[in-house]
Structure 1
Amino acid sequence: MRRYRIGLALLALGSLVVATSAAAQQGGSAIRGRITDQQQGILPGVSIVVTHTENGTTRETVTGADGTYLVPGLVPGPYKVAAQLQGFSRLTQENLVLRIGSTLQVDLILRVGAIEENVTVTAESPQVDLTSAQVGGNVSAGEIENLPSGSRNFTGLVSLLPGVVYNQAADSSSDSVTINGQHGSGVVYLMDGGSNNDDLRGGSSGAQARPPLEAIQEFQVVTNQFDAEYGAATAGVVNALTKQGTNRWHGSAIGYFTDSSMTDKDFFVAQQNLDKPDTSKVQWGGTLGGPIVRDKMHFFASFERQDKNEGRSIIYPTRPDKSFTVAQETNSFNYMGRLDHHMNASNNYSVRFLWDHQPNYNQVLTNGGGVGLGGTKDTLSIEKDNDWALVGTYNRIIGGKKLNILRLSAVHEKPKRGQPLYQDVGDWTQAPPTLQYLNFIDQADDNYADYRNMNVYGLDDTFSWYIEGAGGSHDVKFGTQYQLGEHYREDQRVTNGRFIAPTDRTFNPADPFTYPERLNVRVPQMVQLLSRTHSLGLYLQDKWQLRQHLTLSLGLRYDMHNSPVNESWNPYFSSPDDHPIDRNNFQPRIGFAYSAGPSAVLRGGYGLFYEKQWIDRFENYMLNPVFTNSFIAQYPVSQVDPGPSAGRFPTDPLLVNGPTLNRDLINQLVPPGTLARNTAAVWLDTPNRILPYQHQASIGYERQLGRQLAFAADYVHMINKDLPLRYNKNPGIKANTGRTSPIARVDLDGLAGQLGLTPFSNDVWIVEYIGETTYDGLNLQFEKRYSNNWGARFSYGLGHGHGNTNGTPTATNDFQVLDDRNLELNEGPTNLDRRHTATISGRFELPWLKGVTGGAVARMMTGQPFTIHNSNVDANRNGVLVDPLPAGTYSGVGQNAITVENDGGRNGAYGPGSLQIDLRAGYRMRPQAGRTLDLFFEAFNITNEPNFANPTGDMRSANFLIVNTLAGGGFPRQFQIGARLGF
């Protein structure tokens, strides 16, 4: 351990010595080209000056022996390139627009003449990057500003690109995406080159700190074939660039408003004749940027305030008296500041800070899929969240052809979630017990009674060197990346006790069917846990242009993650400090880009990609050890009390009085303040803890059609290996196939005996890395660049994901029977399998009605899979109640029932698809040159599609195949008015 820390320190010191610099290289942009004379002869020694036309900053270099040049590490934006050589006229090409993450090819032809003679040419920048094998695209500032966005979260605009699925959350600030059928945890969010990720669970809930749309200049989405500089990404990279100050004062002011009179009743409110929630949204803010020292130092700042009351309807067909509506209060105070200083031609730095403060009220408990439990009006929670992200970047250019990038970053998250009692008192044991019925939760919400504090610190250094030679030019880049993640949690969930009932009927002391069949309660005290993870990455990347039309990308990356776990009472380790470290994560990556002409590229490649050791991947080992001061005890321990579901009163002492918590008896069983034997599920770390990895391969073609239209088609193939699957070392076998049948445990490895303990009474989980999934997809895109007063984009993704795991990081193998894994029975579609996704977006300004503007976004997706089963029957007697039913046609019974064709097995049926069309119509005034005032009217979900979440596939439930939840919280047709002042 000591050697490891010393090695890290030496590596960081070496990076700083090599450094003296930095630039936003992750997602960095570059301009390259070849300079020739009018007879196509190459011209070495040509002086090249690249100028950002808005902030006046410049970069200089000279062409090499082969007449080529490269200027890397540029901030995206408008540029001009000037070339001069003695005996030739000076030539300047203007109107160049450099996009984030792209390389712009600017070839110039000099003509003989006096150097004092200036020749200026203008040409539109090409839409196609002829040198990159990466698959993805960019979303421009024009699209960000002029397309309708109901959530005002930039994550929704990521789905404008093919292969991207937009996952709207009940809390719109947690919107996320999945890309090419891969889990959202594998999406890495960067902002200005620095991390904006949640180190607890990756990109599952989107970016950590939400940047306001008005502060984003543009963003890039890489969906396949990430270069070696990108680590931890197995699904995609979303790289946002914030706006910066220029030599001209510029900014904006925005305002949006809607209320319940402009919002329709949602599907269930109208159908069930419920009270319409009092919805509203007031959002306002602004930006300002400008010079501190012209051509040298600039600033940019933004502020945004959101106050939204978002309508939610929660429906319980079996208990309509519990159905309710609420206006969920989502608030946000968002501040951002950025400083850029161009000290001289060789040195510059930038600093950016983003703070997003969210005190949210009346938050609804849902499980995000409508497949299980939802809260009642008595379980509404409060979430107070503070997120911020800081990045500082220092760039040094050495000799015009070398660039070093040094970047320091920090990301912070501090949420406190729970009902008012928890927020005010901080002691959840004072709350009434949670009542978990078959289809809903009542009385108290024990899913939220926790506090977390997470900090992630990063240090990156990258050195780039442009080398010309007889074998072609090389853009060589190598670097180091280090991150320290710390996660502290205080968890009081279930300290109030949770009674689990077999029906939805209200408790009646005279009716045994209404008694609980199990009690869960956290003992002896709440969780207090600090987790740490160290991540080290090294990479080497060469973008080798063999000849003018062929570019090879050759890369190698190495990652190592050290996540310490206390291995006490773990028979697989000889010492408590002897935790595993996966050191074998070498990742070769190769790609090619062949340009048959000036406007088309054939691209493809192969790469190996490892997942990051997100904190929630190993925290279970510390949360659920053999001996602990906090675990969730179950009474009865082994299986539910069989009485209530059979019409008999329970016999367990903690259940005989119904849903009343006997705290004195619990304290006798597990005295407070003690280190207790964990009688619930135990998790044991193993020496073979490793990281999952992924093979990626793609082949694609992109072509510019005319001056303004581009078409792209890419086939992607992914194979995920070593995915985690839980394996039970203390499995049970039931006496019969009944749900409440007694279960006998078998200690497969004699773990209890090895530890000198009495037999384990519950599951003992280890994680095996035996899961595999495959994904095949075809991504198509047409993009009409904004010109002649209109622009549009069409994206389509066709894909299929399949494997012996559902593709989520917490997947289980529900078909294990004693020591037989029966892994073949776990084959089926992944949870994220959506066969078809399509998005159409566009914006315009009418030339014959000058000032009239409009925009639209339409999204269509087919449904996600789920399993048809009956939890009343345990066919394989393993105690896991999800045995799939045979293939066939299944139908629900009752209002809002659906019919599905079930292929059998895991995820054999598919739920409802979705369609949403959002529109904007407005009028743009131009009171002065460089100033605009937009007044507009927006309509979201204009067709009022209900867009249901998947129903439950459990035949035991009275809600079997009955849709009763809207996807992502859902919302009906809504109108909004807004205004934007730009200057």
Structure 2
Amino acid sequence: MSQHHQRLFRRSALGLALGLCFSAGVQAQTNTAGAVAGRATAGDTITIENAATGFSRTITVGGDGSYRLSQIPIGQYTVTRKGADGATSTRTANVSVGTASSVDFVTAGGDAQTLDTVTVIGTGAVNPIDITSVESTTILTAQQIAKIPVARDATSVALLAPGTVRGDAAFGNLASFGGSSVAENQYYVNGFNITNSFQNLNFAQIPFEAVAEQQIKTGGYGAEFGRSLGGVINMITKRGTNDFHAGGNVFYEPESLNEKTKNVYQENGVLRQDNSKDSTWNAVASVWASGALVKDKLFAYGLVQYGRTSTDTWLSVVNSTNTSAVAKNPNWLLKMDWNISDNHLLELTAFSDKTKTDTDVFRNTVGKLDRTTFLGTNFTETGGENYVLKYTGYLTDTFTLSALLGHGEFSRSQHLRTANGVDVRYGGDLNNPASGCPIIIDARPAYRRALNGTRVSSCNITGGAIARQDSGDERDQYRIDAEWQLGDHLLRFGYDVDNFKSTAGTSIEGGRAWRYATNNGPDKLPNTGDEFDVVREQITNQGATVEVKQRAFYVQDSWNITDNFIAYIGGRWDSFENLNGQGATYVKIDNQFGPRLGFSWDVFGDSTFKVFGNAGRYALPLTATVAIRGASASLFSRENFNFTGFDPVTGAPTGLTSRNDFIFINGEFGSPKNAETIASKNLDPMYQDEYILGFQKTLSDHFTLGMRGIFRDLKAAIDDTCDYTAVLDAIAEKDPGLTPNLPNSGFPYCRLFNPGEDSVFVTDVEGDGTLRSYTIPGARLSPKAKRTYSAVEFFFDANWDKFFMQGSYTYAKSKGNTEGGVKSDIGQADTGTTQDFDYPELTVDSYGYLPNDRRHSLKLFGNYQITDEWSVGGNLLVQSGRPKNCLGVLEVAPGVFHPYGSSFFRCNGVPTPRGTEGRLPWTRNVDLNVAYKPAFAKGLQFKIDVFNVFNNQEVTAVNEQVEDPSTGARVEIANLPLSFQAPRSVRFMVQYDF
């Protein structure tokens, strides 16, 4: 197809609008398909055909001269108009996911066009203009992704889109969309939700070679997409055709060409972490085949992939262990498509993303890079199998129905094996903690350690808690979507059910942690002869099977008020129900309404200049992880002991005598919690309003430019408050005759609420089973949760015969007193229950620029085909650094500090408001590649990608907790770098397909 034709009728899915949470009506196709729409003469017949699959549909043009064929599988189509006189004309259209390809046979004024063939969307176009959409969307095909030097995963591709930034390294490889936290996105494959709703910090990783298109929705997305305040990543897999294809490739990143990560130094210049011996290499091999099992009827695409990553990590200076890990990914994917008839389609998607990682742990001499005693192996497993069945029926020319049924499983299991072959496990029973060697912490002053020897364990493997062996998740999803064209109105409505069950829990390895400390005696002064050592035992066990039940109904109308102006109105009603480990409901929210408004104006009526806007409201449910500890039975105890000795192997104390101060912390004494007392009875979901306004203009045959303004405003958040004194005050005022019995299962320390809003808490005051209700004013608990995001995005798409490029510049501000689901300030991944609002003191001076505030972002990527054999690609990212904080202690009395330690926006006793400690440095990253396709061997290809060509390694996160929780003194690891830009690496590829 010619590039001259590609430029005509370009349509762009760049949805921007002005309202509360999306524009509801414009996108009239599902999240797995596209559409073909346009104008012709009333009474004409329009036929679309895909020669590769035999798929064909024919409809009659309506009385207003418009036509639309919806829910069309992605691919290239021939579009044929047949008039009443028998004359025909033909166009060609490339249909992409979530967009409408416009094919007009007459102009807006009704004049017939003379071109015999017009290509609607060229395969090189990244963001073509779609006048029927108000979404902010970027679509990349497998062919485009292959030409760009980019990591082969969904997040890395999503980071090419305007308005996205990489999230904190503490949460893995995730993106922040439009100022939201990384825990507020949704992920789909072929219409099936693959988001891991346990924490919303993971999603199923399909073999990336199997991705045909990836759609990145950064705002204004359709009502069929919900449960997200951030963005949506929507992937469509490859499928079989009438032509047989097969092939394979190998990607290899050798250790010898990977640069080392910088060493880490303290503020005083002392080496803290030596990375000079760290090493890693990665290889992934894939083979695939596709074709027709029955021509024009039954098709299959299958892929098998095996990946292996080996990583050696040496953490000397302060660490007593180092590790050698091997991760293995034996993954597969199968896609089956059955064209039952021209009007009925059935498809099956099945895939596995299991990953098994074996991490060998060795003793390390503190301060040296050595590897001594082998301690054991940490075995972890993630991922699982997913199966999705989808039906599409074109029941009439104007009515289409689809239905989806899917089941997914995800493992999070873990167990250990000691050097002598003993298995260490946790089964989830609170009264039977994890086996193995306990954690040993020696917090005594240096002079005491020198006098009596350092207490260490020579057999503890992880130094932390381990997950129960049966940890994992299951998802069952059902949805039905319908589309009905009624004259100038395109109605779309649907219903979906998404039920998620999680089994989870942790226990300290060895069942307990022993912390050695020094009691300074009656005078409280160290080293005066009266000090003595004590040891504290801490036990924390948790485990439960919990559920999140979600359902939603949506309806929307796209109304062609004129030939070139579309108005959208719609809504989504979300219901959420969270169940604890006893199967009792602790949060239930019914029919949360999300209104949707929008418009798209084809200014000149020729699809070259679009003005669009939308307004919408989005809601986010609670994740399943909230219930594991907060709403289910858990055990957290501490007790101090005198001791006479310690085990030289395990480090555990011997000759114990209790100091009679046993205590359960936070009311976690191993008994089930009363579900009625966990959350405020008037709890609203976390929801956000969004407003977008923008335009996109074709400036020449090869160049389009766009701009959009975005404003997001968090209206309500869900978090927990642990200030139980507010409840005590309410009891004293309302029921002064009662004697609170604290703690008990009906009087938990921490409760879910909407920060800043009045809360209605139910509590068992005296521990006698009688529940009473108390209303706590919002101002008594915390200020209102605030988060706003405002941005202006400029973006362009350039496309010539041998060259394409896309670029964007975003100027953005993200301000508030909460990041959202997680807390990057301290790397806290407790989605929905961060420490932001636990106590009012934590909220003082917490308003300011948030961690995902990247003021400036410049992105450019593209490819140039030098000859038929050689091509080069590039990817540039320049971004300003995130704001820094100074977090310190709060002295509540002379020499007494708040138990939350170094978590307050104050240092040296002086307020340090959020984001006022400067910013981290700008990052600049250049990736390049070169590909060679030898003419003498058709189907053979070689490619080299070089990431971070100039090996820039700026700091991307630091330790912002700068004061000692016990003394308030500045700690030696203040502002210690926690992550850097990934160092330079090289990836080789060889591929052959036929």
In which range does the TM-score fall when normalised by the shorter chain? 0.7 to 0.9
Counterparts in 2 of 1:552 and 1:800: CA distance versus 1, 3 Å: same
Identify the match of residue 555 of structure 1 among 570, 591, 606: 570
Aligned sequence identity (%):
17
Partner of 2:224: 229
User: Does 1:347 pair with 2:356?
Assistant: no
Higher mean C-alpha displacement, 866-875 vs 211-220:
866-875
**Separation of aligned partners in 2, 1:480 and 1:144:** 33
Alpha carbons 1:826, 1:905 under 8 Å: kept: yes
| Pick aligned residue for 2:119 from 116, 123, 132 | 123
Unaligned runs of 5+ in 2: 1-27, 123-127, 266-270, 363-372, 427-432, 445-454, 519-525, 756-784, 822-830, 965-969
- Distance in 1 separating the partners of 2:131 and 2:477: 32
Q: 1:511 to 1:591 in 2, by over 3 A?
A: farther
Superposition deviation, residue 782 in structure 1:
1.7
Is 1:837 matched up with 2:857?
Answer: yes
The answer on 1:305 being equivalent to 2:297 is: no
- 1:464 equivalent to 2:483? Answer yes
Q: Distance in 2 between matches of 1:462 and 1:487?
A: 27
Secondary structure of the 2:47 match is strand
Provide the aligned C-alpha RMSD in A.
4.1
Alignment of 1:217-366 (within 5 A): 217-268=212-263, 276-310=277-311, 312=313, 314=315, 320=317, 322=319, 326-362=323-359
Q: SS of the counterpart of 1:966?
A: strand
Query: In structure 2, what is the Cα distance between the partners aligned to 1:62 and 1:667?
Result: 87
Q: Which amino acid aligns with 1:223?
A: T
SS at match of 2:145: helix
Report 1:555-594 matches (<5 A).
555-565=570-580, 579-594=586-601
Verify the 8 A CA contact 2:198 2:624 in the aligned structure 1: yes
How far apart are residue 760 of structure 1 and its match? Answer: 7.1
Which of residues 772, 786, 799 in structure 2 aligns to 1:772? 786
Tell me which residue corresponds to 2:30: 25
Aligned counterparts of 1:509 and 1:304: Cα–Cα separation in 2: 63
Corresponding letter in the other structure for 2:38: G
- Preserved contact between residue 53 and residue 242 of structure 2 (Cα < 8 Å): yes
Residue 481 of structure 1 deviates from its aligned partner by: 0.5
Task: Decide which moves more: 597-606 or 870-879.
Answer: 870-879
Aligned mates of 1:225, 1:27 — CA distance in 2: 18
Query: How far apart are the structure 1 equivalents of 2:940 and 2:145?
Result: 16
**CA distance, structure 1, for counterparts of residue 318 and residue 500 of structure 2:** 46
Instruction: Note if contact 2:848-2:913 (Cα within 8 Å) is conserved in structure 1.
Output: no
Superimposed CA distance per residue, residues 395-442 of structure 1 (whole angstroms, 9 cap, x where no aligned partner): 111122110001101121012135434993425643222245789998
> Does 1:712 find its partner at 2:709?
no
2:427 aligned with 1:424: no
> Any stretches of 5+ residues in structure 1 without a counterpart?
1-22, 36-42, 366-375, 568-575, 637-651, 733-744, 891-901
Of 820-829 and 68-77, the range deviating more from structure 2:
820-829
Distance 1:709 1:517 in 2: 71
With over 3 angstroms needed to count, the CA separation of the structure-2 counterparts of 1:676 and 1:798, relative to structure 1, is closer
1:813 to partner: Cα distance? 6.0
The 1-side partners of 2:58 and 2:908 are apart by: 69
Displacement of 1:845: 1.8
1:86 and 1:906, CA in 2 relative to 1: closer, same or farther beyond 3 A?
closer
Counterpart code for 2:637: A
- Helix, strand or coil: the match of 1:342? strand
| Other structure's SS at 1:826 match | coil
- Answering whether residue 384 of structure 2 is matched by residue 401 of structure 1, we say no
Deviations 1:527-552 (A, max 9, x none): 44111222110110112222221112
Please give the alpha-carbon distance, in whole angstroms, between the structure 2 residues aligned to 1:717 and 1:181: 10
- 8 Å Cα contact 2:638-2:662 kept in structure 1: no
Q: How does 1:790-939 map to 2 (within 5 A)?
A: 790-808=803-821, 809-810=831-832, 812=834, 823=843, 825-847=845-867, 850-871=868-889, 873=891, 878-882=898-902, 884=904, 904-905=913-914, 908-927=917-936, 931-939=938-946
TM-score, L = length of structure 1:
0.79
Residue 62 of structure 2 aligns with which residue? 64
Distance 2:881 2:183 in 1: 21
State the SS of the aligned residue for 1:581.
strand
3-state SS of 2:296 partner = coil
Contact 1:191 1:241 (C-alpha < 8 Å) held by counterparts? yes
Report the counterpart of residue 619 of structure 2 in structure 1. 610
> For 2:534 and 2:808, how far apart are their aligned partners in 1?
51
Q: Is the 8 A contact 1:777 1:799 kept in 2?
A: yes
- 1:510-549, aligned counterparts within 5 Å? 518-522=536-540, 526-549=541-564
How many residue pairs end up in the alignment? 854
Matched residue SS, 1:149: coil
Contact 2:750 2:838 in 1 (8 A): no
910-919 or 217-226, larger mean C-alpha shift: 910-919
One-letter code aligned to 1:533: V
Query: Kindly tell me: are residues 842 and 481 of structure 1, through their superposed partners in 2, closer, same or farther at Cα, counting changes over 3 Å?
Result: same
Query: 1:510 deviation in Å?
Result: 13
CA offsets 1:289-333 (integer angstroms, 9 cap, x no match): 111111111110111111112454546xxxx15387655422211
Change in 2 beyond 3 A, CA 1:752/1:30: farther
Indicate if the aligned counterparts of 1:633 and 1:680 stay in contact, CA closer than 8 A.
no
The letter for the 1-side match of 2:503 is: Y
Does the residue aligned with 2:889 lie in a helix, a strand or coil?
A: coil
CA gap of 1:779–1:27, structure 2 versus 1, over 3 A, is farther
The question of 1:498 aligning with 2:494 is answered no
Asked whether 1:154 is paired with 2:154, we answer yes
Provide the residue aligned with 1:106 in structure 2.
103
Give the equivalent residue in structure 1 for 2:196. 198
Report if the CA contact (8 A) 1:333-1:357 is conserved: yes
The one-character-per-residue Cα deviations of 1:665-723 (angstroms, maximum 9, x if unpaired) are 89999999xx9846999983332333111101111111233233222211111111221
CA distances 1:755-778 after superposition (whole Å, capped 9, x unpaired): 973557998111220222111122
Read off the aligned partner of 1:862 and give its amino acid letter. Answer: S
Query: Given that residues 645 and 654 in structure 2 are in contact (C-alpha distance below 8 angstroms), is that contact kept between their aligned partners in structure 1?
Result: no
CA gap 1:29/1:874 in 2 versus in 1, 3 angstroms: farther
Q: C-alpha distance in 1, partners of 2:306/2:464? A: 30
Q: Aligned equivalents of 1:975 and 1:921: distance in 2? A: 12
Q: Distance in 2 between matches of 1:311 and 1:860?
A: 30
* Correspondence 1:696 to 2:711: no
Quote the offset at 1:965 in angstroms: 3.3
Give the 3 Å change call, closer, same or farther, for CA 807–88 of structure 1 in structure 2: same
**Superposition pairs of residues 445-460 of structure 1, within 5 angstroms:** 445-451=463-469, 452-460=471-479
Q: Which amino acid aligns with 1:852?
A: W
The yes-or-no answer on 1:133 pairing with 2:138 is no
The alpha-carbon distance between structure 1 residues 262 and 85, as it changes in their structure 2 partners (threshold 3 A), is same
Contact 2:74 2:94 in 1 (8 A): yes
Relative distance call for 1:812 and 1:240 in structure 2 (3 A) is closer
What do residues 594-649 of structure 1 show as CA deviations (whole Å, max 9, x unaligned)? 111321211111101111232124443333xxxx4x4121336xxxxxxxxxxxxx
Shift of 1:869: 2.9
**Equivalent residue number for residue 757 of structure 1:** 741
Aligned to 2:950: 943
Contact persistence 1:246–1:289 (CA under 8 A): yes
Q: State the one-letter code of the partner of 1:948.
A: V
Q: In terms of mean alpha carbon deviation, does 855-864 or 837-846 score higher?
A: 855-864
Match of 2:989 among 959, 964, 978: 978
Contact 2:845 2:912 in 1 (8 A): no
In the alignment, the residues of structure 2 paired with residue 872 and residue 339 of structure 1 have an alpha-carbon distance, to the nearest angstrom, of: 61
Cα pair distance change 1:700/1:261, threshold 3 Å: same
How many angstroms does 1:275 deviate by? 5.2
**Structure 1 residues 57 and 279 mapped into 2: Cα distance closer, same or farther (>3 Å)?**
same
1:208-240 CA-to-partner distances (Å, cap 9, x unmatched) read 221222101111111111221112021111110
